[in-house]
Structure 1
């Protein structure tokens, strides 16, 4: 048997396929914790008991190993407390996998829209903490890196939470990794219905302003506890942005607050948060 080269890069680790098979129990179905247009996500444990998440990418573009390594290395060097850390990767044959740190408290979507009972554990203070941390992570991607990284798929399921409710933006390198040709853009990988900026539909180009728009939708989602688009609601309430704009223009900001909040926020910080959200989704990008 030929043992593949294993290189310890400055920022992370080149994992062998065998290491990741052992960690995920041969990529067992019971280890699957997510699935998307980019591939399948597995939870695993390395031999040193480090908990990891493995994203097995659909290698539809047939990326060359060298190109893949260069892209992953650029993303792997990114360090910020509000970004999920990329530990390393696997590139053997046609296999392309990313290995991330495991964040123990699930994602924001589960806590907002899952079955958490009549009273949400997400207090107003926690929700503001999540908004601030997400903003810091996004600001770092846009302004703290050269070249900048545009996330292109900001949504509640991509905001992971630790035990102290600190947010960590995940999948921030996937758009770049799966689309290293900058002219190649696809909604299968980039953008989720309800979060995507309207100018994307007309220009087919996503940039940091698109991230800001999605972030505005995320703020509205956190304040209201509602999905960006929900056809189970009356037609005039199905679109979160339109409904929230109407409520604010009718001078009823308190009417948009999530009924599962343990206690209502003070009016002034509520209005400030809503104003920021409305600025983010302003039709004039």
Structure 2
């Protein structure tokens, strides 16, 4: 509290201090962002617009809490408007390296229609802030998990299309560049939906590239519990199959409306009690392996009319999802094959 009062007093005594700090941040961050863009874009950085701090203040009504779309452990994502255009502003709380990586990969991959387009960034904040296109229909996690679903349940064909489009975006990251990009944090929290329900993959702060000529790269374990590949946790090795596992968990979530781990009352029933020493959590993939379809599928999907064709699609998606989350990475398909299989499943008409 005393430190905060001293800072306020200093600002009153020296009203130009904030301006000088923003100028210093602009110069420092400008060099770092350019360096990251050059590194990520093979020496040919993609030009992006720069926004002033005052423009972000105006766009978000001075960072109004009511405009927050999502808060993560590292950042806050605001919706705002500037010059008649609706935008999303991403403010990092800490970890400048994560913000720089997010800028570099987002700029490089923004050409894909299912990746959230980076419009520009603000260099005047202590950690560079990112400005993205607007995602009007929010975050996927708020629409698929039964425990926190908002509004009308998502129809099955809509879920299937979202899965196929996100799979295509991940395949693009893996094969569209000389060095495969591994996202490392694929989850419904990082998938946004625009006004037409087109999914947009986002948040490349943990992404890493595999060097040319190499099959993997090693790094400390980063990501989200439940979506992390078991072999990555045990070996620190990163390949494209890490993302396949994470996508598989997203796909199973779309099918079931459940998170990667179930609480005891979800798989035992509300009236059941745990045996002594029994874990109160059960992995979703284990639960799906030995249950009938009508026990595992999101009840909202089962309420739809579709007959035998719908049953075929649900069975095929369950099998694909379980193959994606196999413990042995060699058994998992590539994201290109996942995309092809989802396209085939979509063609099963009912």
Query: Structure 2 length normalisation: TM-score?
Result: 0.68
State the 1:228 CA deviation: 1.3
| Match of residue 260 from structure 2 | 228
| Match of residue 58 from structure 1 | 93
Which of 244, 255, 260 is the matching residue for 2:300?
Answer: 260
| Match of residue 288 from structure 2 | 244
Unaligned runs of 5+ in 1: none
State the 1:32 CA deviation: 2.2
State the 1:147 CA deviation: 2.5
SS at 2:76 equivalent: strand
Shift in CA distance, 174/254, structure 1 to aligned 2, threshold 3 Å:
same
Matched, 1:43 2:75: no
Matched, 1:27 2:63: yes
Deviates more, 1:261-270 or 1:224-233: 261-270
Matched, 1:159 2:191: yes
Q: Deviations over 1:224-255 (max 9, x none)?
A: 111111325236883211100122xxxx2343
Shift in CA distance, 74/125, structure 1 to aligned 2, threshold 3 Å:
closer
Counting only pairs closer than 5 Å after superposition, residues 24-173 of structure 1 correspond to structure 2 as: 24-46=60-82, 48-61=83-96, 68=100, 72-78=103-109, 79-92=111-124, 94-113=126-145, 114-116=148-150, 120=153, 122-171=154-203, 173=204
Which of 228, 244, 248 is the matching residue for 1:212?
Answer: 244
SS at 1:154 equivalent: coil
2:88 touches 2:132 (CA, 8 Å); kept in 1? yes
Q: Deviations over 1:2-51 (max 9, x none)?
A: 796899x85421111121121112223222222112222222111x1111
Counting only pairs closer than 5 Å after superposition, residues 169-188 of structure 1 correspond to structure 2 as: 169-171=201-203, 173-176=204-207, 185=220, 187=222
State the 1:146 CA deviation: 3.0
Shift in CA distance, 168/61, structure 1 to aligned 2, threshold 3 Å:
closer
2:106 touches 2:117 (CA, 8 Å); kept in 1? no
Write the distance in 2 (CA, Å) between the matches of 1:194 and 1:253.
22
Whichever structure has more helix as a proportion of its residues is 2
SS at 2:115 equivalent: coil
1:87 touches 1:99 (CA, 8 Å); kept in 2? yes
Query: Structure 1 length normalisation: TM-score?
Result: 0.82
State the 1:77 CA deviation: 3.3
Unaligned runs of 5+ in 2: 1-18, 31-44, 209-216, 269-278, 330-350
State the structure with more CA Rg. 2
Shift in CA distance, 60/126, structure 1 to aligned 2, threshold 3 Å:
closer
SS at 1:211 equivalent: helix
2:74 touches 2:95 (CA, 8 Å); kept in 1? no
Deviates more, 1:269-278 or 1:91-100: 91-100
Root-mean-square deviation (CA, aligned residues, Å) is 2.9
